[in-house]
Structure 1
């Protein structure tokens, strides 16, 4: 199921609400009355084409205005900003936490230039400023920041190429966390019946459609992919973490009068079962690896950007919707994703 396909069926939030109500209350009767389930190919194509007109991503490669090269003065100013970020990060590794203002007083522009803008210290970090993205005038500093360790992520190359904006990443985190809070039934749902599993996942699908409609500054490909990664994450937790934890927890109950010495956990028989299960789960998550999603990527990148002074911290408690009026990069370009 493609999140992008269904976004064309959304007339505000009313359609999504009707679908969720139908699934929750009268699924067999309700689904027959829902638009999208009985479309022919012509109608489906029409709706997909309509959605593509609202597609939002990086501009095409041949859009010169969007990918205008950075000027010499812009490049120098950018290098000065990045140098201070590198110094701040380097000092944080040594336990020093100085403000951007303090660092600017300590390291004047001439010193930063003489030291090669301290590019050499980047190799010690989990992040770097991508030199390719530093060539373009209209990108945000945040878009130029990239995370290392591509093998830790489900699709690092895809994340990096989409080059999301600061507001876009904050919206993506909002999308994922709100979807998680709205779909707790999926996390707790276990059934051998395929039809029941599909019905629950359909509910998740339309929650995703509804929430994605609020995220007008997040690049569309990331939202499409986010729905699939969210389902993968929930399934992984249930099949790998929960099943393994249940197995080791059952073993613990069998030997509860002894100390449970294994590479999983060390729990004695006096620990309450709820607490024992939580300890087993914590241990299982440590030795069973899980690839990281774009949610993990965006969360980590936002955290790093704030800590090194690249961006101002987000105002806590401020909703995504209240900041949607702000223009994102290039005023909301809706062209296809570039291959940068």
Structure 2
């Protein structure tokens, strides 16, 4: 039962603190970041008090792991699915090649976090980015003409591009799966 409580805590923490993603890579004065960090810590502690057997130490660990996880997501995943989706749209609906589509997305200047990566690909060799794009769009067959479904498939594929570091919540989920498999919990 305690494992379920910890997973619930981690999931609720992730949901309620998503607002922090807007501040992960912004250069803020230390005092401003300290206020944001403190507000997040307060929210995490408040969430934790609603669960049995979660003490301050566990809440603090969960909060710090959440920040690490969030930083990884923002640094690696943010906007990448949208960029690949826009490229896919240009390639399929306007019959453009990958390089021209990438150039169009780059020139739109809608993705400040990804602009340097796109510029580097355009200035040197975009084959690595094209290979990742192909991996992310291979699940989109001719029957998928719905843009929303295509974007969803690309977003899911982007998440699988790189192995994400494991955190405490992943350890807990794995233990719950094992307990379920051997019949300890339903």
Report TM bin, short chain.
Answer: 0.5 to 0.7
Of 44, 65, 69 in structure 2, the residue corresponding to residue 208 of structure 1 is: 44
> Are residues 1:262 and 2:139 paired?
no
Higher relative contact order (CA 8 A, sep 6+): 1
| TM-score (normalised: structure 1) | 0.37
CA distance in 2 between partners of 1:205 and 1:244 (Å): 29
Return the alpha-carbon distance in structure 1 between the equivalents of residues 54 and 17 of structure 2. 21
Residues 45 and 59 of structure 2 are in contact (CA less than 8 Å); yes or no, is this contact kept in structure 1? Answer: no
Q: 1:268 to 1:202 in 2, by over 3 A?
A: farther
Measured against aligned partners, the alpha-carbon deviations of 1:32-82 in whole angstroms (never above 9, x if no partner) come to xxxxxxxxxxxxxxxxxxxxxxxxxxxxxxxxxxxxxxxxxxxxxxxxxxx
More helix by share: 2
How far the C-alpha of 1:221 sits from its partner, in A, is: 4.2
Q: CA deviation at 1:193?
A: 4.8
Which 10-residue stretch deviates more, 214-223 or 177-186? Answer: 214-223
Tell me how far 1:242 sits from its aligned partner: 1.9
Does residue 277 in structure 1 map to residue 151 in structure 2? yes
- Structure 1 or 2, whichever has the larger Rg, is 1
In the alignment, the residues of structure 2 paired with residue 228 and residue 262 of structure 1 have an alpha-carbon distance, to the nearest angstrom, of 35
Q: How many residues align?
A: 145
Which residue in 1 is equivalent to 2:130?
A: none
> Of 86, 97, 104, which aligns to 1:250?
86
- TM-score (norm: length of structure 2): 0.62
SS at match of 2:160: helix
The yes-or-no answer on 1:171 pairing with 2:8 is no
Q: State how far apart, in whole Å, the 2-side matches of 1:281 and 1:293 are.
A: 21
Unaligned runs of 5+ in 1: 1-165, 314-340
Structure 2: how far apart are the matches of 1:271 and 1:280? 13
SS at match of 1:263: helix
2:77 corresponds in structure 1 to 241
